[in-house]
Amino acid sequence: MRIPPLICAAWMVAVWIGCQKTEEAIETPSTPSTKANLETNATQQTKVAHKQKHTNRLIKEKSPYLLQHAHNPVDWYPWGKEAFEAAKKADKPIFLSIGYSTCHWCHVMERESFEDEEVGALLNKHFICVKLDREERPDIDKIYMTFVQASTGGGGWPMSVFMTPEQKPFFGGTYFRKPDFMNLCKRVDELWNDKEMRPKLEGDANRMATELAKISVGTPDPNAKLHSGMITNAIARIKDTYDPRFGGFGRAPKFPRPSEPVLVLTQAARAKDQDGIGMVTHTCDQMAGGGIYDQLGGGFARYSVDERWLVPHFEKMLYDNAQLIHLYLDTYLVSGETRHAAVVRDVMRYLARDMTHPDGGWYSAEDADSEGHEGKFYCWTKVELDELLTAEEAAVVIRHYGITEEGNFEDHSHPEPLKNQNVLSIVDPKLTNSEQTLLASARKKMDAVRAKRVRPHLDDKVLSSWNGLMLGAVARAADEA
Question: What confidence tens digit (pLDDT) does each residue in 117-142 have?
Answer: 999 999 999 999 999 999 999 999 99
What amino acid is encoded at 113 in this protein? S
Same domain, 82 and 192: yes
Q: Classify residue 263: in a domain, yes or no.
A: yes
Mean pLDDT over the full length of the chain = 90
Taking CA 177 as the corner, what is the angle to CA 141 and CA 161, rounded to the nearest 5 degrees? 25
Q: Classify residue 224: in a domain, yes or no.
A: no
Q: Are 130 and 83 in contact (CB under 8 A)?
A: yes
Same domain, 58 and 149: yes
Q: 154 vs 102, 109, 131, CA distance in Å?
A: 21, 18, 21
Same domain, 344 and 378: no
DSSP, res 21: B
Which of 327, 361, 395 corresponds to the end of one domain? Answer: 361
How far apart, in whole angstroms, are the C-alpha atoms of residue 280 and residue 326?
13
Q: What is the largest CA-CA distance in the chain?
A: 79
Q: What backbone phi and psi angles, to 5 degrees, belong to 322?
A: -65, -45
How far apart, in whole angstroms, are the C-alpha atoms of residue 162 and residue 10?
11
Residue 73: asked if its preceding bond is cis (omega within 30°), the reply is no
Q: Are 111 and 69 in contact (CB under 8 A)?
A: no
pLDDT of residue 456: 96
Q: What backbone phi and psi angles, to 5 degrees, belong to 387?
A: -75, -30
Q: Classify residue 240: in a domain, yes or no.
A: yes
Same domain, 262 and 393: no
Q: Are 261 and 283 in contact (CB under 8 A)?
A: yes
What amino acid is encoded at 95 in this protein? F
Q: Classify residue 431: in a domain, yes or no.
A: yes
Q: Are 132 and 396 in contact (CB under 8 A)?
A: no
Q: Are 184 and 192 in contact (CB under 8 A)?
A: no
- Which residues, including other chains, have CB under 8 Å from residue 146's CB and lie 6 or more apart? 212, 215, 216
What amino acid is encoded at 9 in this protein? A
Q: What is the radius of gyration, based on Cα positions, of the chain? A: 24
Nearest to 370 by CA among 452, 443, 293, 306: 452
Residues 32, 51, 106, 313: what is their CA dihedral angle, to the nearest 10 degrees?
-30
pLDDT of residue 388: 98
Q: Are 146 and 91 in contact (CB under 8 A)?
A: no
Q: What backbone phi and psi angles, to 5 degrees, belong to 132?
A: -135, 135
Q: Classify residue 423: in a domain, yes or no.
A: yes
pTM (predicted TM-score):
0.82
**What residues are paired with 459 via a beta bridge?**
365
CATH number, domain of 303, equals 1.50.10.20
SS3 label, residue 328:
helix
Same domain, 255 and 322: yes
pLDDT of residue 301: 97
Number of domains in the chain: 3
How far apart, in whole angstroms, are the C-alpha atoms of residue 360 and residue 428?
39
Which of 361, 381, 405 corresponds to the end of one domain? Answer: 361
What amino acid is encoded at 357 in this protein? H
Q: Domain span at residue 237?
A: 229-361
Q: Which element (helix H / strand E) includes 173?
A: strand 169-173
Same domain, 306 and 334: yes
Other CB atoms within 10 A of residue 241 CB: 12
SS3 label, residue 29:
coil
Same domain, 177 and 79: yes
pLDDT of residue 189: 97
State the burial class of residue 303 (Cβ atoms within 10 Å of its Cβ: 0-12, 13-18, 19+): buried
Q: 190 vs 8, 17, 68, 343, 440, CA distance in Å?
A: 17, 17, 30, 55, 63
Which of 315, 330, 361 corresponds to the end of one domain? Answer: 361
pLDDT of residue 307: 97
Q: Are 453 and 55 in contact (CB under 8 A)?
A: no
Q: Classify residue 470: in a domain, yes or no.
A: no
Residues 107, 111, 112, 118: what is their CA dihedral angle, to the nearest 10 degrees?
130
Same domain, 277 and 130: no
How far apart, in whole angstroms, are the C-alpha atoms of residue 227 and residue 460?
43
Same domain, 322 and 422: no
Same domain, 325 and 387: no
pLDDT of residue 22: 38
Q: Classify residue 481: in a domain, yes or no.
A: no
What amino acid is encoded at 186 in this protein? K
Same domain, 248 and 321: yes
Stretches where the chain sits below pLDDT 50 are 1-36, 38-49
Same domain, 317 and 406: no
Q: Which element (helix H / strand E) includes 334?
A: helix 318-335
How far apart, in whole angstroms, are the C-alpha atoms of residue 438 and residue 151?
55
- Which residues, including other chains, have CB under 8 Å from residue 268's CB and lie 6 or more apart? 274, 275, 276, 277, 279, 280
How remote is the C-alpha of 472 from its chain's centroid?
22
Q: Classify residue 391: in a domain, yes or no.
A: yes
